[in-house]
Amino acid sequence: MKINVVQNVLDASDALAVANRKRLDAAGVLALNLMSAPGSGKTTLLQKTIPALAPQHRSAVLVGDLQTTRDAERLGQTGAQVTQINTGRGCHLSPAQVEQGLDGLDLGGVDFVFIENVGNMVCPAAFDLGEHLRVILLSTPEGDDKVAKYPTLFQGAAIVLLTKTDLIDVLGYNLDRVREDLAQLNTRAPLLQLSARTGEGLEAWYQWLRERRAEKA
């Protein structure tokens, strides 16, 4: 027999994402989901960002990796609350893991929750975790063709951060190609050029965060 139904396969996952967002809203927190390839500089950026925001704003971090607590150790040095989520073989964070991660944080007085997703340009883009905004990093050594190759990731971005821009000349990086590809997918997200080494663009990134925070409050 054939049984016809209409069932949302991800209803449990979607419901958890909605619940996470409500919980973050209730705590007055702005949650950002950072997604990129491995090694693009998510952890380094947060190591710079959290202390820079600290005079006015408190941050907490959920950091996802398959294995190790290395990122949590690095981020813990910023003084922020950090929870490491090890996904084992999982290639992306799930809303259930974020729910559990939030259980381990005291959100009182926290302004920003940074969710550092598993380094992967495909799978994380398919799952709403309950975040408010998606921050996508792209580092110059990955190549200037990645926006067009991983369109879904960039389409959902609230901001795109091009990192390691101190290598642009060394690599012969074609910035116009990134801009052109982004114009096909997402003209809403600003493209910021950053270098954690030289400090280029960091102040603009912090300012963007402060503005989004002010909108939320």
Partner 1 sequence: MHEMSIAEGLIDHVLRTAREAGAVRVEEVVVECGALRGVVPEALQAAFDALAEGTEAQGAAVAVTETPITARCRACNAEFAPTTENFVCPACGRADVEILSGNHILLTSVVCVTESETEGENA
217 is a site residue for partner 1 (CB under 8 A): no
Q: Work out the angle at residue 177's Cα, subtended by the Cα atoms of residues 165 and 157, and round it to the nearest 5 degrees.
A: 75
Give me the 120-159 binding string for partner 1, x by CB under 8 A, dash otherwise: --xx-xxx--------------------x--xx--x----
**How far apart, in whole angstroms, are the C-alpha atoms of residue 192 and residue 200?**
10
Smaller CB separation from partner 1, 112 or 127: 127
Binding window for partner 1 (CB under 8 A); candidates: 21-29, 68-76, 171-179, 182-190:
182-190
Supply φ then ψ for residue 87, to 5 degrees. Answer: -90, 0
Smaller CB separation from partner 1, 92 or 164: 92
Supply φ then ψ for residue 198, to 5 degrees. Answer: -90, -15
Candidates 2, 67, 88, 169; binder of partner 1 (CB under 8 A) is 2
Smaller CB separation from partner 1, 4 or 56: 4
Q: At what angle do helices 11-26 and 95-103 cross, to 10 degrees?
A: 30
Can you name the residues that pair with 32 across neighbouring β-strands?
114, 133
Can you name the residues that pair with 84 across neighbouring β-strands?
63
CB of residue 198 vs partner 1: minimum separation in angstroms? 30
CB of residue 148 vs partner 1: minimum separation in angstroms? 7
Smaller CB separation from partner 1, 5 or 214: 5
**How far apart, in whole angstroms, are the C-alpha atoms of residue 101 and residue 217?**
23
54 is a site residue for partner 1 (CB under 8 A): no
Residue 147 CB-density burial (10 A; 0-12 exposed, 13-18 middle, 19+ buried): buried
Candidates 33, 36, 47, 94; binder of partner 1 (CB under 8 A) is 94
Residue numbers of the site for partner 1 (CB under 8 A)? Answer: 1-13, 90-92, 94, 122-123, 125-127, 148, 151-152, 155, 183-188
